[in-house]
Copies of this chain bind each other. A is one copy, B any other.
Amino acid sequence: MAHHDLQTVSHECGDCPIRHRAVCARCEADELQRLEQIKYYRSFQAGQTVIWSGDRMDFVASVVTGIATLTQTMEDGRRQMVGLLLPSDFVGRPGRPTAAYDVTATTDLVMCCFRKKPFEELMSSTPHIAQRLLEMTLDELDAAREWMLLLGRKTAREKIASLLAIIARRDTHLKLKSAKGSIVFDLPLTREEMADYLGLTLETVSRQVSALKRDGVIELEGKRHVIVRDFDKLLEETGDDTDGGYLV
């Protein structure tokens, strides 16, 4: 199954689905050509580990399709997710020899990998890649800081609502639907993965999801399919500023 995907994904940068958002977004035709020479695709099945923290890592990569996670694990097994990688997101750090986090495919996953050494050379010779990477890294830093507020100060209910809102927003964004009206999406994470994202236990996640359902904030079809009839109602549960709202 995994090798299947490999076949169906185009190897031409020109019609790559993440062409305009990934680290290569700003590249000119000649730069793309040089990237083509050092790239290769790798596929992973849902659940597979891409790389373990501490392992030698001689590539960097873009997520093409599917979802991956970055997690840290403490000696006694406590786990915290520290990154959720969607299509076009970048994995790996130029100049670092080993992986700093466990990288796991949570869905079937295709990555566009670049051999690290030549990628680094390309980065220093052409500014477009470094420029785009800086932009993406700054975005990730902002996301990490919002995540820190969630982990440090939000209640369990607010955490769940926030995660649902993030996924809903991303999904509507990808589907180019408006953020008004009913929003429907599938959770790409298990309850345990949600717990690792939010700094909770899976039982608490389950309870709070049930509570939001009971309170009419969300509807569920099966365990993973979520329907949000009133997105503003969900936003009110996140604890965030209702900006674009009454004040200002």
Interface residues of A (CB under 8 A from B): 70, 72, 74-76, 78-80, 82-83, 93, 95, 100-101, 124, 127, 130-131, 133-135, 137-138, 140-142, 144-149, 151-153, 198-199, 239-241
Contact of A82 among B101, B130, B133, B148 (CB under 8 A): B148
Contact of A70 among B134, B145, B146, B241 (CB under 8 A): B145
Q: Is the CB of A152 within 8 A of B199?
A: yes
- The docked-state distance in angstroms from the alpha carbon of A80 to that of B150 is 9
Chain B residues within 8 Å of A144, by CB: 141, 144-145, 148
Chain B residues with CB below 8 A from A147, complex form: 148
Would A153 and B82 count as touching, CB distance under 8 A?
A: no
Neighbouring B residues of A130 by C-beta, 8 Å: 127, 130-131, 134
Q: 6 pairs across A/B with beta carbons < 8 Å?
A: A74-B153, A75-B239, A83-B145, A130-B130, A140-B141, A151-B151
A142 to chain B, nearest CB (A): 7
Distance (whole angstroms) from the CB of A177 to the closest CB of chain B: 27
CB distance from A195 to the nearest CB of B (A): 10
A82-B148, A134-B134, A140-B141 known; 20 new pairs, CB 8 Å cut-off, are A72-B145, A72-B149, A74-B149, A79-B153, A80-B148, A80-B149, A80-B153, A82-B149, A93-B138, A100-B142, A100-B145, A127-B127, A127-B130, A130-B134, A134-B137, A137-B137, A137-B141, A148-B148, A152-B198, A152-B199
- Residues of B near A241 (CB, < 8 A) are 74-75
Which of A75, A82, A83, A149: most chain B CB closer than 10 A? A149
Instruction: Compute how far the CA of A139 lies from the CA of B216 in the bound complex, rounded to whole angstroms.
Output: 42
> A139 — nearest CB in chain B belongs to which residue?
B93
Docked CA distance A220–B213 (Å): 50
From known contacts A134-B134, A137-B141, infer whether A153 and B199 are also in contact, taking CB-CB under 8 Å: yes
The interface residues of chain B lying within 8 Å CB-to-CB of A240 are 74
Docked Cα-Cα span, A131 to B12, in Å, equals 29
